[in-house]
């Protein structure tokens, strides 16, 4: 495995597995949250939301940033999602969206974040999963 994919930051796991909220802090001091939400009409369907939760970005929740730590951040998110999948093996649908920057408003085309996320999807969902990506929305289902 490439050195780029080995660098994982320390993870703060939820005290209760069903809580589905994880945290980690980058070396530059940015605090990230990774949150899993379950759908009321299908508890085996989870929405993944992640981003910076520091006040540095004027209260804009789930901002993502690039301070040269993109691989550490993405590797850590991969580990968190894999951990969540181990804790919740019956979840068979995951979805998330790549919130774009202001200059990337087009919903039907992939933004730079989705292109990055697509690179990591096979590392998270290694086999037995189908990916559907439409614009900045990813829908992953178990085969």
Q: What is the DSSP string of 1-43?
A: --GGGT----EE--SSGGG-EEEEE-TT--EEEEEEEEETTEE
Tokens of 140: 């992953």
- Segment 102-118 mean pLDDT: 72
34 compared with 28, residue with greater pLDDT? 34
User: Where is pLDDT greater, at 39 or 54?
Assistant: 39
What's the pLDDT at 81?
96
Token look-up 């951040």 returns 73
Which pLDDT belongs to residue 108? 61
CA 38 to chain centre: 15
Confidence (pLDDT) at 101? 55
d(CA 87, CA 36): 12
């Amino acid at each position: 495995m490439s050195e780029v994919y080995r660098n994982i930051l320390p993870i703060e796991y939820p005290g209760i597995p069903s809580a589905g909220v994880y945290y980690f802090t980058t070396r530059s001091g940015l605090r990230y949250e990774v949150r899993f939400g379950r759908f009321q009409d299908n508890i085996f369907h989870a929405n993944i939301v992640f981003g910076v939760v520091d006040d540095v970005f004027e209260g804009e929740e789930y901002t993502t940033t690039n301070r040269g730590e993109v691989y550490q951040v993405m590797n850590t998110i991969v580990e968190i999602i894999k951990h969540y999948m181990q804790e919740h093996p019956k979840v068979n649908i995951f979805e998330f969206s790549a919130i774009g920057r202001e200059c990337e408003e087009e919903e039907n085309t992939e933004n730079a974040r989705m292109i990055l996320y697509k690179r990591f999807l096979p590392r998270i969902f290694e086999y037995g999963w189908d990916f559907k990506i439409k614009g900045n929305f990813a829908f992953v289902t178990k085969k």
